[in-house]
Amino acid sequence: MAQMIEWKHEKNVVDYRIAEEAMSKRVEDIISNRRTELIWFLEHDSVFTLGTSAKTNDFKNDVNIPIYQTKRGGQTTYHGPGQRIVYLMLDLRNGNKDIKKLVWNIEEWLILVLKDLGISGYRIPGMVGVWVKDPGRVNIDGTRDKKIAALGLRVKKWVTFHGLALNVNPNLNFFTNINPCGISGKGVTSLHELGVKIKTADVDKIFKQTFPKIFTK
C-alpha cells in the first residue's frame, strides 16, 4: 500500500453511477502514481446492483428502483439510505497480492467493528460477508444466521475498488425482492434491528480506529 491513505466522508447521498465513475478515475490515478489510496464512506439512493456472478433468478419480484450491472465481483445486492458503503481503493502492488487474504481482512475488519458495538459477527464458509445470530427470527432454512454486511471487489492492475456495505438502518424490505448475494433461505439484518441505535458518523469513527489492527503499512 502507499504511504498515505485519504479518508473521505460524503455528507450527501451519491448516485451509484457517479460513484463508479469516480472510483474508476481514482484507480487510474493510483496506478499512475498521481493520487494516494482512498477509503471512501458514502450512501447511495435505493438501487439494485448486479455483480459479475449475478444470476437472472436472483430477483423474486418485480421492482421499481434502478437496476445496474456492475463489474465488481459478487452477485445481486441492494444499496440505499441507511446502509454504510465503504469503497476501498487500495494499492496492492508493493504488498501482498492475495485477493483471498484481502477479502478475509475486510471481513475481519467488519467483525472488529461489530465487536466494538457489542455484536458478535462471524463468517460462514463459502458465503462471503459477515453474519450475526438473530435471537428473534428463524430463517426459511431453519437457522438464525442473518447477513449484516456484504462485500464485492474489483481489482485492476493490483489496485482495488468497490468494497463493503454495512447495514446500519436501511429499509430491509428491499432485500425481500432478491436472493441477496445469490443466497436463498437466509435473511438480512441491521445494527438498528439488533438494538444498536448508532449514527452512521459514529460507525465511521470505529471503522477508522480499527483499520490499523487489520491493515498494516
Q: Give the CATH H-level superfamily of domain 5-214.
A: Bira Bifunctional Protein; Domain 2 (3.30.930.10)
Q: Where are the domains of the chain?
A: 5-214
pLDDT per residue as tens digits for the range 101-127:
999 999 999 999 999 999 999 999 988
By the 8 A CB rule, do 89 and 161 touch?
yes
Catalytic-role residue among 181, 191, 194, 203:
181
Name the grid cell of 190: 441491521
Name the grid cell of 105: 481482512
Q: Is 89 a catalytic residue?
A: no
pLDDT per residue as tens digits for the range 175-209:
776 665 545 556 889 999 999 999 999 999 999 99
By the 8 A CB rule, do 141 and 134 touch?
no
Can you give the pLDDT at residue 50?
Answer: 81
pLDDT per residue as tens digits for the range 1-25:
445 899 999 999 999 999 999 999 9
